Amino acid sequence: MIENSSENELFTVINNMPGGLCVFNFIDQYPYIEVTVWNKYMEKITGFSREEINRTGIFHVCSIKQEQDCINKAFTEMNKKETLIQIKDIADMNRLLKLKISSINTDKIKESYIVLASEIPENTDYGNEVLRIKESETILREVVDNTADLLAIFTPDFRIKYISPSHADVLGYPLEKLKSMRMGDLTYLGEENIIAKFGNDLIKSKETVKCQFKILCADHSFKYLETIGKPLYNNGLLEGYILSSRDVTARVKTEEDLVKSKKRFRTLFNNVNDAIYMYKLDEEGSPSKFVEVNDRACNRLEYTREEMMSMTISDVIPDLKDIISYIIETVESKGNSLYEACAKTKSGRIIPVEINSISLDLNNEKFILSISRDITERKEKERADEFERLRAEFFANISHELRTPVNVIFSALQLINSRINDTSLNAVLYKKYMPVMKQNCYRLVRLINNLIDVTKIDAGFMKLNLSNVDIVDLFESITLSVTQYIEYQGMSLLFDTNVEEKIITCDADKLERIVLNLISNAVKFSKSGDSIFVNLMDTEEKVIISVKDTGIGIAEENQSLIFDRFAQVDKSFARNREGSGIGLSLVKSMVEMHNGTIEVKSQLNKGSEFIITLPVNLVEEKSEIKDTRNYLISDNVEKIKIEFSDIYSSQG
Ligand code: ADP
């Protein structure tokens, strides 16, 4: 019938349809419309005439904001479903409309939409039910729109289906723009993989998936979102994903700042120039294993961190066990304890250190924190200063030593000179002053010899003149050659040995000087009635030579000093018993040139014993064994006089 009807008849039919019909197309841009058909029923249910609605926005009919979304939905679900919308008419009456939109695009009609609308009376069961659902939908939407959390619903292909307005506040985009964006548009550069993984996890998972990522803001900065996502299923079909996010930027930044400052402190901790150790004390008050050490400590002590963590501070500061109770006591009473010690490295190197220990309370646990400073340089400087002091003292002393014999010789010469013409007196004067002058010449020679030797040793010029020598014979001869002299001083000299003969490779001259020096000291620091013992003991691989006296002895605190060059222990005594303080340092150097050692055992007022240990090493026999007997007797009288020149002698 319609086919044959005129246009007028068609309009009559459309206008009298028991339902609304509207045909429109968009002009320029959505949502402005040009309405071509708007039948009477449409006028009745909306209250607008075609002229009124034409060229206005499609939402003009909706005064309830949310209904715009319903219209949008009607478009997205076009051709598929009916959509229920609620509008208000001119008289502000609520009306429920059922809409179905479909599109047409033919040669004659270009891209238009046909809307079929019918009214659902409000007072029917169905109408009420629809209104109730719509109302709770409105409440729900209000809740969702206004939660602080960021809620969004994505379609299965990650288009935004719903996005809560809070996103706009956090990310800075206008809400309308956000609605048209995809997940990819919000991805911050560098976060692609994290977001792609999150998307994949969501696709695979039926449960909630958690993720934290950076999201791009409108001003190109980023915010950290902590997001929980869950796929939405309807009758087993994936409808999309619901994402609930929280802006955790402040928290993450604080955490990052914390990590950064932790890193900064760790770098500082590891790179300070001091070694730092932290440890606890066990019930007995002994240090337990380290709980923390810095890199500097590991490097300095040549251990790896793992090795260090299985050690205690006593392993690296071996002397600590003797003073640990003192340290703890001072830490507790004074707050800290400062002490000097020696740290031992893995390879056995000794480093002088100054350790400052404090007590530290961490999470209700008590620790000792020790900061150890390498004081090698300071110690070396102290040693250099001490050496410098000794040298200055030595020169002051040596000028006295040089001047005294010269003065004696000079005075004797003056005396002889004053009587030079008195021939009757000449012989008496010469006899009286000659020995004095001679002995003082020996003293000068000894001093000069010693000075030359010290210089030679310092310059590395002193060499050993090695030969195979029977040292039993050598020492016996030396002892014999001075026995008479010593007995003259009212003292006794005894030589003892556990072997008849012992041949070693050595420099006989140097050994002779060593022993003469020690015997001369023994005489110098003993008095009439005292005894001197020279012992030689052979233990196969070593020879031990001891020179012992029952003289004045050396106080314990001075025993480590006497081998230092220029050291004179007791100035008041030294002045009585002349000396320059280089004798023992020369002796030590000469013993060490033989790869031997020298030590002293002494007790004040009881006596002293100097013990020399020499290794027994024989060189390939080149020459005969030296006959020390003749050698000594022939030229040793002079040597003895020189070595003994410090001791005032009335014998001459
Ligand atoms: P000096 O030339 O002054 O004797 P030494 O180096 O031989 O120098 O000795 C250093 C110091 O060691 C002496 O000044 C003395 O105080 C002490 N000393 C050395 N030997 C003895 C000894 N047998 N008994 C007591 N003191 C000694």
pLDDT at 612 over 70: yes
The pLDDT of residue 343 is 93
Q: Which DSSP letter does residue 242 get?
A: E
Task: Determine which residue's CA is closest to atom 12 belonging to ligand 1.
Answer: 562
Selection from 100-104, 159-163, 467-471, 622-626 with the highest mean pLDDT: 467-471
Instruction: Verify that 357 and 420 share a domain, yes or no.
Output: no
The pLDDT of residue 279 is 92
Q: Which residue has the tokens 């220990």?
A: 357
Q: Who contacts 220 (Cβ-Cβ below 8 Å, separation ≥6)?
A: none
Instruction: Verify that 366 and 431 share a domain, yes or no.
Output: no
Distance (angstroms) between ligand 1 centre and the Cα of 581 equals: 7
Instruction: Verify that 394 and 362 share a domain, yes or no.
Output: no
Ramachandran region, residue 566 (left: φ > 0; alpha: ψ -120 to 50; beta: rest): left
Q: Does residue 223 lie within any of the structural domains?
A: yes
More confident residue, 634 or 384: 384
Q: What angle do CA 582, 584, 589 make, to 5 degrees?
A: 95
Ramachandran region, residue 111 (left: φ > 0; alpha: ψ -120 to 50; beta: rest): left
Task: Determine which residue's CA is closest to atom 20 belonging to ligand 1.
Answer: 521
Distance (angstroms) between ligand 1 centre and the Cα of 568 equals: 6
Instruction: Verify that 340 and 477 share a domain, yes or no.
Output: no
Which CATH number characterizes residue 332's domain?
3.30.450.20
Q: With a 6 A CB cut-off, is 567 part of the ligand 1 pocket?
A: yes
The pLDDT of residue 74 is 66
How far apart are alpha carbons 579 and 566 in whole angstroms? Answer: 9
For residue 87, give Cα distances in angstroms to 15, 49, 138: 21, 15, 14
The pLDDT of residue 296 is 92
The pLDDT of residue 498 is 94
Q: What is the CA radius of gyration of the chain?
A: 56
How far apart are alpha carbons 562 and 584 in whole angstroms? Answer: 7
How far apart are alpha carbons 624 and 622 in whole angstroms? Answer: 7
Q: Which of 374, 391, 416 is the last residue of a domain?
A: 374
Helix (H, G, I), strand (E, B) or coil at 220: coil
**Hey, what amino acid is at 549?**
D
The predicted model scores a pTM of: 0.47
For residue 632, give Cα distances in angstroms to 513, 521, 536, 622, 626: 12, 20, 18, 21, 11
* Number of CB atoms found within 10 A of residue 356's CB: 15
Q: With a 6 A CB cut-off, is 549 part of the ligand 1 pocket?
A: yes
How far apart are alpha carbons 621 and 609 in whole angstroms? Answer: 34
Instruction: Verify that 443 and 518 share a domain, yes or no.
Output: yes
Range scoring the smallest mean pLDDT among 4-18, 570-584, 588-602? 570-584
Tokens standing for residue 493: 């000299």
In sequence order, the β-bridge partners of residue 532 are 493, 549
Q: With a 6 A CB cut-off, is 525 part of the ligand 1 pocket?
A: yes
**Whose CA is closest to 215, among 260, 184, 252, 179?**
184
In sequence order, the β-bridge partners of residue 229 are 209, 243
Q: Does residue 262 lie within any of the structural domains?
A: no
Spacing of C-alpha 19 from chain mean position: 85
Q: Which residue has the tokens 């963590």?
A: 309
Distance (angstroms) between ligand 1 centre and the Cα of 554 equals: 9
**3-state SS of 411-427?**
HHHHHHHHCCCCHHHHH
pLDDT digits 0-9 by tens, 127-176: 777 777 777 777 777 777 777 788 888 888 888 888 888 888 889 999 88
The pLDDT of residue 428 is 79
Tell me the residue range of the domain where 232 lies: 147-253
Q: Which DSSP letter does residue 159 get?
A: B
How far apart are alpha carbons 75 and 99 in whole angstroms? Answer: 10
Distance (angstroms) between ligand 1 centre and the Cα of 553 equals: 10
Spacing of C-alpha 527 from chain mean position: 62
More confident residue, 630 or 169: 169
pLDDT at 582 over 70: yes
**pLDDT category, 541, cuts 50, 70, 90?**
confident
In sequence order, the β-bridge partners of residue 336 are 358
The pLDDT of residue 491 is 94
Q: Does residue 266 lie within any of the structural domains?
A: no
Instruction: Verify that 300 and 389 share a domain, yes or no.
Output: no
Percent of the chain with pLDDT over 70: 87
Mutate to test the pocket of ligand 1, among 525, 564, 573, 606 (most ligand atoms within 8 A of CB): 525
How far apart are alpha carbons 164 and 138 in whole angstroms? Answer: 14
Q: Does residue 23 lie within any of the structural domains?
A: yes
Sheet with 492-497: strands ordered across? 492-497, 531-538, 542-549, 607-615, 597-603
pLDDT digits 0-9 by tens, 299-329: 999 999 999 999 999 899 988 877 888 888 8
How far apart are alpha carbons 205 and 111 in whole angstroms? Answer: 41
pLDDT at 104 over 60: yes
Q: Are 419 and 429 in contact (CB under 8 A)?
A: yes
How far apart are alpha carbons 606 and 598 in whole angstroms? Answer: 20
Q: Are 342 and 318 in contact (CB under 8 A)?
A: yes
pLDDT at 448 over 60: yes
pLDDT at 621 over 70: no
Which CATH number characterizes residue 625's domain?
3.30.565.10
Q: Which residue has the tokens 């003073």?
A: 323
Q: With a 6 A CB cut-off, is 570 part of the ligand 1 pocket?
A: yes
How far apart are alpha carbons 356 and 340 in whole angstroms? Answer: 9
Range scoring the smallest mean pLDDT among 93-97, 364-368, 551-555, 624-628? 624-628
More confident residue, 540 or 40: 40
pLDDT at 587 over 90: yes
Structural domain count of the chain: 4
In sequence order, the β-bridge partners of residue 537 are 544
Helix (H, G, I), strand (E, B) or coil at 363: coil
Q: Who contacts 529 (Cβ-Cβ below 8 Å, separation ≥6)?
A: 490, 491
Q: Which DSSP letter does residue 121 get?
A: P
**pLDDT category, 539, cuts 50, 70, 90?**
very high
Q: Does residue 351 lie within any of the structural domains?
A: yes
Q: Are 30 and 38 in contact (CB under 8 A)?
A: no
Q: With a 6 A CB cut-off, is 64 part of the ligand 1 pocket?
A: no
Q: With a 6 A CB cut-off, is 562 part of the ligand 1 pocket?
A: yes
For the segment 90-99, the average pLDDT, to the nearest whole number, is 68
Instruction: Verify that 92 and 50 share a domain, yes or no.
Output: yes
Instruction: Verify that 199 and 332 share a domain, yes or no.
Output: no
Q: Does residue 344 lie within any of the structural domains?
A: yes
Q: Which of 85, 106, 132 is the last residue of a domain?
A: 132
**pLDDT category, 86, cuts 50, 70, 90?**
low
How far apart are alpha carbons 512 and 640 in whole angstroms? Answer: 10
Q: With a 6 A CB cut-off, is 554 part of the ligand 1 pocket?
A: yes
For residue 596, give Cα distances in angstroms to 456, 529, 538, 588, 621: 19, 32, 14, 9, 21
pLDDT at 345 over 90: yes
**Whose CA is closest to 515, among 553, 489, 476?**
476
Task: Determine which residue's CA is closest to atom 2 belonging to ligand 1.
Answer: 579
Q: Does residue 2 lie within any of the structural domains?
A: no
How far apart are alpha carbons 302 and 311 in whole angstroms? Answer: 13
Mutate to test the pocket of ligand 1, among 449, 489, 521, 573 (most ligand atoms within 8 A of CB): 521
Helix 628-643 with 423-459: angle, nearest 10 deg: 100
Average pLDDT, the chain: 83
**pLDDT category, 642, cuts 50, 70, 90?**
confident
φ, ψ for residue 150, nearest 5 deg: -95, 115
How far apart are alpha carbons 360 and 275 in whole angstroms? Answer: 17
For the segment 326-345, the average pLDDT, to the nearest whole number, is 89
Q: With a 6 A CB cut-off, is 584 part of the ligand 1 pocket?
A: yes
How far apart are alpha carbons 594 and 504 in whole angstroms? Answer: 11
Instruction: Verify that 405 and 447 share a domain, yes or no.
Output: yes
Range scoring the smallest mean pLDDT among 83-92, 239-248, 291-300, 449-458? 83-92
Instruction: Verify that 363 and 425 share a domain, yes or no.
Output: no
**3-state SS of the chain: helix, strand, coil percent to 5?**
45, 25, 30
pLDDT at 471 over 50: yes
Q: Provide the b/e sequence for 474-487 (b: ≥16 CB within 10 Å).
A: bbbbbbebbbebbe
Tokens standing for residue 28: 């320029």
Q: Which of 68, 97, 132 is the last residue of a domain?
A: 132
In the chain, DSSP finds a helix count (H) and a strand count (E) of 21, 22
**Whose CA is closest to 549, among 529, 565, 574, 575?**
529
Helix (H, G, I), strand (E, B) or coil at 149: coil
Selection from 91-95, 153-157, 381-385, 570-574 with the highest mean pLDDT: 381-385
More confident residue, 21 or 1: 21
Instruction: Verify that 369 and 384 share a domain, yes or no.
Output: no
The pLDDT of residue 59 is 64
Instruction: Verify that 542 and 616 share a domain, yes or no.
Output: yes
Sheet with 160-163: strands ordered across? 160-163, 150-154, 237-247, 222-234, 209-216
For the segment 617-644, the average pLDDT, to the nearest whole number, is 62
DSSP state letters, 447-488: HHHHHHHHHHHHHT------EEEEHHHHHHHHHHHHHHHHHH
The pLDDT of residue 440 is 86
Task: Determine which residue's CA is closest to atom 25 belonging to ligand 1.
Answer: 553
Percent of the chain with pLDDT over 90: 31
Q: Does residue 415 lie within any of the structural domains?
A: yes
How far apart are alpha carbons 128 and 120 in whole angstroms? Answer: 9
The pLDDT of residue 404 is 80
Distance (angstroms) between ligand 1 centre and the Cα of 558 equals: 10
